[in-house]
Every structure is written in structure tokens, then in C-alpha cells.
Amino acid sequence: MKKILLILLPILTIISAFTSVMLTDWRIDDENYVITFKTKGVKGGFKGLKGGIHFLENDLSQSKFDVTVDVNTISTGIGMKNKHALAEDFFDAGHYPTIHFVSSAVIRSDTSFVVKGYLTMKDVTHEISFPFTFKKEEEKGIFKSEFEINRKDYNLDKKGIGEIIQIKLNVPVKQQD
């Protein structure tokens, strides 16, 4: 009996560890997430959020975010502003169709978490960090964040709008099967 336990125990440990890892991959709820931005002279949102979220509240060193947003989904509520935002002198969506974020670390703060990583817009990548909260209920969860970026850091030049862009994220997720 002891020999069987000695053989089964490591196998069960490996299987349970694998299962634990599998249950922490999150699928973005394509229908209900919200990405909004606001600055002087323009506000709106994006759709087209895709990517991988691997989030382990109890082992943040294993957490990883690798997501993109389709620039062509910008919506300001004004067709001409959308067209100008996609033009060569701003997002240049023809050459750079996505905004990309990949994390390098996730840490716990007093009341939430902070993700550090690299944000790429157009051909410019900068290291950034921003706070977020995560609320889990059974096999669902929601990530929320509010932070700011300076558009000029990413060569997004346009007169008549503010430099600092306020971004809000509300991203419901489901555990992947």
C-alpha cells in the first residue's frame, strides 16, 4: 500500500498543479468589456480587445497579460474625428493597426494590484505601470483600472486635444475551459 501511495502522490500532485494553472487562464468577455478614453477635446472608446490573461492572485510572479486593441475600432461618436484619429499623422492605423500591452510584473499594493509592462502604440514602446482591481465570483471575474498616459510619448500629435489621456478599463472575464 505504501508503494502505491508513493507512486500516486507525485502523480496526483502534478495533476493538481496542472489543473490549478489551467483554472487561472481568463477569457475576455468579448461582449461586455469597456475601454474608454478622455482628454481635452475628445472622448470615446475602443473595441477589438484580444489576448491572453493569466492571473494568479496567490502567485503574482506567474501572472501575465498580453493583450492588443484594434486601433480601427476607435469610436468618438463623431465620424470625422474617428477618421482623423486613424490617419497617418496620429495612429497611422494603416501601418500600426494595434495597440499592444505585455506585462513584465504584477505586484500587490495596499488595496489592489499594479501591473508593470510595455505599451506599444505606433512604433513606440514605453514601460508603464498602472493599478487595477480584480474581483472574482466563482468562475467569473472583472478587472478594472483607471490610469493616464501622455499621447506625445507615443508620437500621437494632433492640435486641439489634450496631452494627457485618461483611460478606464472594465474587463469582465471567464475562466477558460
Domain boundaries along the sequence of the chain? 26-175
Instruction: Write the CB contacts of 86 (distance below 8 Å, at least 6 apart in sequence).
Output: 71, 72, 74, 92, 93, 94
Q: What's the average model confidence in pLDDT over 121-139?
A: 96
Interatomic CA distance for residues 33 and 49, integer angstroms:
8
What is the three-class DSSP state of 160? coil
Work out the pLDDT band at 160, boundaries 50, 70, 90.
confident
What is the three-class DSSP state of 172? strand
Just give the CATH number of 26-175: 2.40.128.110
Average per-residue pLDDT in the chain? 88
Output the pTM of the full model.
0.84
Q: What is the pLDDT of residues 36-91, one digit of tens each?
A: 999 999 999 999 999 999 999 999 999 999 999 999 999 999 999 999 999 998 99
Locate cell 502604440: which residue?
Answer: 121
Residues pairing with 14 in the sheet:
none
75 phi and psi angles, rounded to 5 deg: -140, 115
pLDDT at 20: 41
Q: What is the pLDDT of residues 20-40, one digit of tens each?
A: 444 479 999 998 999 999 999
| Amino acid in the structure at residue 21 | V
Measuring CA to CA, which residue among 60, 122, 123, 59 is closest to residue 93?
122
